[in-house]
């Protein structure tokens, strides 16, 4: 299996909602990443997990809360988001220090 | 100076031509270099990785790396309309840093 999968594909939420994005890979990768991408911009790194431990948090607001339950799964918990948080959220995985493979992304709209 | 800079584009080439995409980076300690292709509304897809000076070829794609000049490029031979996309240069030094991307259009 050489895929990174993400669910849901699309998500619409209000500013008071709590929702979660999910990411899964079965390539045996030990590093997983969350990126945010706005239109016509490159992906921006949010979080990095290495060997299931959070290794990088790019000063992301606390309304985004990552979780890595095991080496194959990565979640991003969302709470009290703002309309400007609307974006494509990308998960990626890699061997530590190696090339990253991206999932298809979740298109998030915050109303 | 931006950490990773790409030629601003957009770049338009006729079908069958060679498309040349360029990227410079500022951190001399960078170890690995990648090219991603991103179609509109889709996620980035890795098309080339290069780790040492010189050329690396994969089908119609050739990546070139010159660490002394801090320069990495991607050549696409026999360009096809299906190559029309945004090409992202990415440099890895602990974490991946992307350039702003170059939009390539291949016209029939």
Q: Do B100 and A97 touch (CB under 8 A)?
A: no
Query: Are B29 and B14 in contact, with CB atoms under 8 Å apart?
Result: no
Who contacts B26 (Cβ-Cβ below 8 Å, separation ≥6)? B1, B2, B3, B4, B70
- Comparing alpha-carbon positions, the chain A residue that sits nearest to B98 is A42
The torsion angles phi and psi of B83, rounded to 5 degrees, stand at -80, -10
Task: Residue A84: name the closest of A105, A63, A58, A59 by CA.
Answer: A63
Q: Do A43 and B101 touch (CB under 8 A)?
A: no
User: pLDDT tens digits for A65-79?
Assistant: 999 999 999 999 999
Strand, coil or helix: what is B87? strand
Query: Are B4 and B91 in contact, with CB atoms under 8 Å apart?
Result: yes
Task: Residue A29: name the closest of A54, A10, A63, A1 by CA.
Answer: A1
Eight-class DSSP state of B18:
P
Given a cut of 80, is residue B1 above it in pLDDT? no
Query: What's the pLDDT score for residue A1?
Result: 58
Task: Residue B36: name the closest of B25, B48, B24, B18 by CA.
Answer: B48
Query: What's the pLDDT score for residue B94?
Result: 83
> How much of chain A exceeds pLDDT 90, in percent?
95
Average pLDDT for chain A: 95
Task: Residue A92: name the closest of A41, A59, A53, A44 by CA.
Answer: A44
Q: Which of A97, A99, A105 sits opposite B46 (nearest CB)?
A: A99
Interface residue of B4, B40, B43 to substitute, partner A, most A CBs within 10 Å: B43
Contact status of B98 with chain A (Cβ, < 8 Å): yes
- Structure token digits, residue B67: 């660490």
- Residues in B closer than 8 angstroms to A42, CB to CB, are 88, 98-101
d(CA B106, CA B2): 28
Q: Do B43 and A105 touch (CB under 8 A)?
A: yes
Contact status of B101 with chain A (Cβ, < 8 Å): yes
Task: Give the pLDDT band (50/70/90) at residue A2.
Answer: low
CB contacts under 8 A, B 39-78 vs A, are: 42-46, 49
Query: Are A4 and A100 in contact, with CB atoms under 8 Å apart?
Result: no
Q: Do B88 and A42 touch (CB under 8 A)?
A: yes
Given a cut of 70, is residue B9 above it in pLDDT? yes
């Amino acid at each position: 299996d050489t895929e990174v999968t993400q669910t849901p594909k699309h998500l619409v939420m209000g500013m008071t909602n709590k929702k979660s994005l999910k990411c899964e890979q079965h390539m045996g990768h030990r590093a997983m990443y969350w990126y945010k991408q706005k239109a016509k911009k490159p992906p921006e790194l949010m979080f990095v997990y290495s060997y299931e431990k959070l290794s990088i948090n790019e000063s992301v607001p606390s309304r985004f809360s990552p979780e890595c339950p095991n080496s194959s799964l990565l979640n991003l918990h969302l709470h009290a988001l703002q309309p400007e948080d609307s974006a494509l959220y990308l998960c990626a995985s890699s061997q530590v220090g190696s090339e990253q493979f991206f999932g298809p992304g979740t298109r998030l709209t915050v109303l | 100076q931006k950490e990773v800079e790409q030629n601003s584009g957009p770049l338009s080439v006729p079908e069958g031509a060679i498309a040349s995409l360029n990227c410079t980076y500022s951190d001399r300690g960078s170890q690995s270099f990648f090219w991603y292709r991103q179609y509109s509304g889709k996620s980035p897809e890795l098309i080339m990785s290069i780790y040492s000076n010189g050329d690396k070829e994969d089908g119609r794609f050739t990546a070139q790396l010159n660490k002394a000049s801090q320069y990495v490029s991607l050549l696409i031979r026999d360009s096809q309309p299906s190559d029309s996309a945004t090409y992202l240069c990415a440099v890895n030094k602990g974490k991946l840093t992307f350039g702003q991307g170059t939009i390539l259009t291949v016209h029939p």
